[in-house]
Amino acid sequence: MPSLRTLVAIPVSLALLASVAAGSASSAEATDPLLSQFVSKGRVPAAALLEHDGDDVRYASAGRGISRADHFRAGSITKTFIATVVLQLAAEHRLSLSDPVERYLPGLLRGQGADGRRITLRALLSHTSGLADFTGITRGAVPLTPLQAVRVSLALPSTGPGRYAYSSTGYVVLGMVVRRVTGHSYAAEARRRVITPLRLTGTSFPGARRTLPAPHGRAYAADGSDITRLDPRVAGAAGELVTTLDDLDRFYAALLGGRLLPPHWLREMLGTRAARGVYGLGIFPVKLPCGTTVWGHNGRIAGSYVRSAASADGRHVVTFRVNTTAVADPALEPALLTAEFCPRGR
């Protein structure tokens, strides 16, 4: 999940940059040693990466017990899927991003400074609603219904409307809005509108199912304990998704390539003014040292961390994952993205 600390320019250690520069000009040779550092320096059991660059495809891995075909939990990458559904509904004039939440869910948001009459759907999408993040209390360990998640949030002080503050609560509320507008769950709408048309055969919203589809590896907590079984209701519309490396590359390529949203609504998604450059609508930019900006999202849920990043036209997409909750060295991720998207010498 992005924060102001991780989305601004992150200093990359000279040692990491040296390891990237030591490789040849090819992305494959520059990145594979760096991916191995996720195991040695990042202290993860295993890491994997899948790159699509035009017609070229490359898979790499490090550590044991991980493969390209694995199904895994994608955490907050779910938010890009939910935002895509909401923007499609806006394109169909079934809702407006300037509508207040109160129009669809009267009386839901009341308490600790939160007021659904003044919180718009755009504010939910851009994390500028002021709603406190319910996961700050549950720590991703307590299964909740959407209403319970909202009630946990409303028991906490609002961070103040109009300011960027990452909050999974907003996307839980958006899931409720999708049901009110369409009569179907957010999962059903995402399957109909995104998963089925793109043939994302490894992607699903598991609901209360604690197991992962086959094939899959194991997922580990920071202490090494096996937490492969997990109730996805700890995250709901903010982080329920199960998917694969291939499907995430295909999804972001299609999204940024204009296959899921009309041009106007894709520009809306990529607009970052509301969040002061930090976040768009379900997607965020990162400017790399060479000046290239990549778009995508990350996802963290117990036992899994995933990052997808793509060029603005969607032709170059990289997704990498580790089979534990966090990477010990925060400099590894920006170094990997730099190696993937910045041609040598720029």
pLDDT at position 23: 35
Alpha carbon distances (Å) from 48 to 2, 228, 272, 307 = 21, 17, 30, 11
Q: Has residue 31 got a pLDDT over 70?
A: no
Q: What DSSP line would sit under 111-158, residue for residue?
A: ETTEETTT-BHHHHHHT-S-PPPTHHHHTT-S---HHHHHHHHHTS--
Is residue 200 within 8 A of residue 249, CB to CB? The reply is no
The 10s digit of each residue's pLDDT in 51-65 is 999 999 999 999 999
Which residues face 284 on adjacent strands? Answer: 296
- CB-based contact 293:305 (threshold 8 Å): no
pLDDT of residue 111: 85
Inform me whether the pLDDT recorded for 153 exceeds 70.
yes
Contact 68, 246 (CB under 8 A): yes
Residue 306 DSSP SS3: strand
Q: What is the pLDDT of residues 165-180, one digit of tens each?
A: 999 999 999 999 999 9
How confident is the model at residue 16, as a pLDDT? 43
Which pLDDT belongs to residue 301?
A: 97
pLDDT, one tens digit per residue, over 204-261 is: 999 999 999 999 999 999 999 999 999 999 999 999 999 999 999 999 999 999 999 9
Rounded mean pLDDT, 169-195:
98
Is the pTM here over 0.85, yes or no? yes
The catalytic residue positions are 76
Q: State residue 25's pLDDT score.
A: 37
- Show the domains of the chain with their CATH numbers: 4-77+204-341 (3.40.710.10), 78-182 (1.20.58)
Backbone angles phi, psi at 287, to 5 degrees: -90, 125
Give per-residue pLDDT as tens, 65-120.
Answer: 999 999 999 999 999 999 999 999 999 999 999 999 999 999 999 988 899 999 99
CA atoms of 90 and 271, how far apart (whole Å)? 15
Of residues 120 and 23, the one with the higher pLDDT is 120
Helix then strand then coil, % of the chain, to nearest 5: 35, 15, 45
Using CA atoms, how far apart are residues 284 and 332, in angstroms rounded to an integer? 19
Q: In angstroms, what CA-CA distances link 241 with 73, 278, 289, 315?
A: 6, 23, 31, 23
The Cα–Cα gap between 344 and 346 comes to 6
Which phi and psi angles does 43 have, rounded to 5°? 55, 50
Residues in the chain: 346
pLDDT of residue 2: 58
Least confident of 143-147, 160-164, 201-205, 214-218: 160-164
| Alpha carbon distance 331, 343 (integer Å) | 19
Whether the CA torsion 310, 97, 73, 323 is positive or negative: it is positive
Examine the pLDDT at 20 and tell me if it is beyond 70: no
What percentage of the chain has pLDDT greater than the value 70? 90
